[in-house]
Amino acid sequence: MTDSMRINRYLALCGFGSRRAVENLILAGVVTVDGETVRDLGRQVSEGAKVKVEGKPAKPPAEHEYVLLHKPAGYLCSATDPFGRPTIYDLLPEKFRKLHYVGRLDFNSRGLLILTNDGGLTHTLLHPSSAIHRTYKVWTRKPMTEKELLRLSKGVDIGEEELALPVSLKELDDHVEIVLREGKNREIRRMLEVLDHKVVDLQRIRFGGLGLGDLPEAEFRHLSAPEIARLHGKKAK
């Protein structure tokens, strides 16, 4: 840790989730710094400060873990579900339950999912300014025409003043490969709904410089040192 950092980044480093999640904790008044309740999102945390969340000490992990999971369809990216649906953590050992996922895949989507307790890396990978490319294979109920692919390549309005503009599109034998910069909520499904296409299968195969490879569905593995270095934007030693 540097001499000081903003409270929201500190909590993310401690593994309390996304920026929005940690900001909600702060605004709820359950975060204290040296015994003082903090609601200021810009509050700086100095090295050595005693930070607590709901009365429990919050400290960045001594070591970071990085895991790649091949998420199957029919699993939620969530720690729990009030309706009893299976979650990605049902596929992982108990010790990985404190890892948070980087870039949600919806219930019916499958593919590459990174999990880590490195909050700083998570924040960097998901921040729009990083523009990390995500690559997806997409199968639709009916084939897409060249005219529709051209329209997609120019961007489509998916509502709420959001324009979905793919980085690239590639038509393959039985599916389309789509590369996105951000991966907004259900972005590909919403894009294709505009063109009256229904997605029947969606698989993420790449996130930044990390590929899914031949990892079987529902299986996981630890990332290698070179893969971790690539995610951090560094060259492996």
Q: pLDDT tens-digit profile of 124-139?
A: 898 888 889 999 999 9
- Do 195 and 87 lie in one domain? The reply is no
Do residues 177 and 70 lie in contact, with contact meaning Cβ atoms separated by under 8 Å? Answer: no
How many domains in the chain?
Answer: 3
Q: What is the pTM of this model?
A: 0.75
* Tens-place pLDDT, residues 168-187: 999 998 999 999 988 788 89
Segment 99-109 shows an average pLDDT of 93
* Tens-place pLDDT, residues 3-33: 678 898 888 778 777 677 788 999 999 999 9
User: Residue 165 pLDDT more than 60?
Assistant: yes
146 assigned to some structural domain: yes
Domain range for 79 is 66-128+210-231
- Do 122 and 223 lie in one domain? The reply is yes
Sign of CA dihedral 195, 172, 139, 165: negative
CA separation (Å) from 15 to 57, 59, 208?
12, 9, 22
Q: pLDDT band at 163, cuts 50/70/90?
A: confident
Q: How far apart, in whole angstroms, are the C-alpha atoms of residue 194 and residue 109?
A: 19
Query: Which residue among 40, 90, 106, 118 is the active-site one?
Result: 106
Residue 106 a catalytic site member: yes
- Do 42 and 74 lie in one domain? The reply is no
Structure confidence at residue 236 (pLDDT): 43
- Do 217 and 178 lie in one domain? The reply is no
CA separation (Å) from 224 to 65, 112, 135, 227?
11, 15, 21, 5
User: Residue 67 pLDDT more than 90?
Assistant: yes
Q: What is the CATH number of the domain that holds 45?
A: 3.10.290.10
